[in-house]
Structure 1
């Protein structure tokens, strides 16, 4: 089905400020139905989860609905959905729990393509357990991560491989299914950072083949928090540190303290909003697939316009992978990346410069810690935004 961002821009109060937003890889703007859902959750009776009074029942319903919405988004099971403050926090927490079974000499594999949130937690855990860290490199000339690179570092001591499903810096979308096959053949587990991926593709956990998947709703029009999804049976095998009186049930055993009910209400609303972007019927999962496919088609047209404009300006484009999101990393000739970002900000275009916490990737590209300019698209991006971006870059 066709999709035009002009149909939804009025749903985003932040757009009234007049900025052209190309900063969506760092977080999207929020539509009114999500804001209203958060406000409504806070306005009604609310208490700790339970069934004894209206406040308890409201909290319980919010959590149950949010788990189901996330399960529909990723093709998982609601009993395997864990909520946390952020994907970074969840990865750190789970890395400590998972690594508790590691022995000195065991191995963990990380990717040079990844955000530091899917690198540093595993390095810290490995050091604490005396495990060995192996690195998978990507090709800086093509921005591709070849699964064959992984095959060369796996061994019978490999316990876990951590890799991104889509680079937040370059947009590169590695072949996660091929990686999963290699990882499982080696007897290891696969942890996938899907924070950037989930904003641009319909997540299918069965097709990806990963054991753990993390994402962040604020990257796909929702509020700020993190989500982990895994098979409930796998979560049952893990025993995190927790308070004595707190439940040992899965997935609650991993959720420390009281959940942010209003935020979870916003997440359900964001997923419902995405599911309704194009006309259609069927399950929420079916409608999500239709919406995300339509968004991808629109974003592809816009990103091709940007690529042509960058070529005309003689830009150096680092995002070159064959399969990637609508995210571009680039430099303009003779102008520092920070200066380009400032120039754009002065004309109301939000397109920041930096390494965006993908520090290893930036260094591997030869950009050091300064990074480059990054632009990314969201469902509300339109041709007018692209016009302003290209005009601002041309000076």
Structure 2
């Protein structure tokens, strides 16, 4: 199944500004239907949740539709979808709840490949509980996260393994299912950071072996909301602090305060947008999502190959990591140029990229790059084009030539 990229680009109003957006890992542009759904919800009568009147029932429906959309996106149960403001906030909440039962001698396993949002909450929770933190290391040359090391890292005292679904720095897609099998063999739980993986790969909670998976809607064309997904039975024994009158049911008891109802409308619209990227519009939304994201994955892989081939032809460019399976995300440096300088120069040409460590703190620290500016990140999304990749390569040539003249 192929993508009609011209049709897809037309669905993103921000692209009309003429900028090239290679910063999807920091947040994609918003689909027009998402903005329309948010605006419609904000201009329609909405009340807090109640069955007593139409505005209250409308709010209940928006919440239910958002949970169902997330469940379809990742292959979960709507009753196990906890919504929140960010992946970081939700992971901190989960870490606090799970670690309440940890004791000295218990162990947690984290990865140096991960975004810090799936590292620091667990490290800090372990510190409070007196538990031991064990580190999974990545290969500094390939950027792979070897599965074999988990046989030594995971043991009878392991309570949790935290691992990324895809590196937000270099795109590595670890074998999460194999890591989860090792963890589950000793009764440990697995928390997967799906923030960078879900926008680029068809996701299946059960196939991954994830007990908990977090995703952020603004990384896949939606509003600034996030969701932590698990089997409702996983949530059942966890008791968060909450207000006395607040619901005590799952998943409601994990969501403090009144939801942002217009953003919930946007979240559902974003999932519907993804489901319509490719195909004829038939079948269940879950089926359409899998087909559309597979088509987007194939298209993005073509652009990634074009980018990597171009970088390989330029010896002044160093690309970090060469994982066999990766999302379309690359970190690089140009000889003699500070990453922030490169990002600013590209921005001046209308090419939007990120620089620094992008919260991949452990990766850039391990590589010895963090104190000297980290890297420059190019993150491809399904609205990017081959011409944009070529334009980026031309701009990089300009920076290389300028360095030589300097």
Shorter-chain TM-score range: over 0.9
Deviations 1:56-108 (A, max 9, x none): 01100000111111101001100000001100000001110110011122111
Deviations 1:254-293 (A, max 9, x none): 0010111111110100000110111321100111111111
Structure 2: where are the runs of 5+ without partners?
399-406
- Aligned-pair distance for 1:319? 3.2
Q: How does 1:245-394 map to 2 (within 5 A)?
A: 245-280=245-280, 281-314=282-315, 315-369=317-371, 370-394=373-397
Q: Does 1:179 align with 2:172?
A: no
Counting matched residue pairs gives 395
* SS of residue paired to 1:268: helix
| Aligned residues of 1:177 and 1:208 also touching (Cα < 8 A) | yes
* SS of residue paired to 1:335: coil
The whole-number CA distance in structure 2 between the counterparts of 1:26 and 1:352 is: 8
Deviations 1:138-184 (A, max 9, x none): 11111000111121111211111111010001100000000000001
Deviations 1:332-355 (A, max 9, x none): 122221221111111100012111
| Two-structure CA RMSD over aligned residues (Å) | 0.9
Runs (4+) of structure 1 exceeding 3 A deviation are none
Q: How does 1:41-60 map to 2 (within 5 A)?
A: 41-60=41-60
Q: How does 1:48-127 map to 2 (within 5 A)?
A: 48-127=48-127
Q: Does 1:222 align with 2:222?
A: yes
| Aligned residues of 1:13 and 1:32 also touching (Cα < 8 A) | yes
- Aligned-pair distance for 1:368? 2.3
* SS of residue paired to 2:224: coil
Q: Does 1:39 align with 2:39?
A: yes
TM-score using structure 1 length:
0.98
* SS of residue paired to 2:370: coil
The whole-number CA distance in structure 2 between the counterparts of 1:91 and 1:201 is: 21
Q: Does 1:149 align with 2:152?
A: no
* SS of residue paired to 1:199: coil
| Aligned residues of 1:84 and 1:225 also touching (Cα < 8 A) | yes
The whole-number CA distance in structure 2 between the counterparts of 1:25 and 1:127 is: 30
Q: How does 1:152-231 map to 2 (within 5 A)?
A: 152-231=152-231
- Aligned-pair distance for 1:356? 0.1
| Aligned residues of 2:4 and 2:278 also touching (Cα < 8 A) | no
| Aligned residues of 1:82 and 1:229 also touching (Cα < 8 A) | yes
- Aligned-pair distance for 1:17? 1.6
- Aligned-pair distance for 1:365? 1.9
- Aligned-pair distance for 1:25? 0.5
* SS of residue paired to 1:161: strand
* SS of residue paired to 2:310: helix
TM-score using structure 2 length:
0.96
The whole-number CA distance in structure 1 between the counterparts of 2:72 and 2:50 is: 24
- Aligned-pair distance for 1:331? 1.1
- Aligned-pair distance for 1:11? 1.6
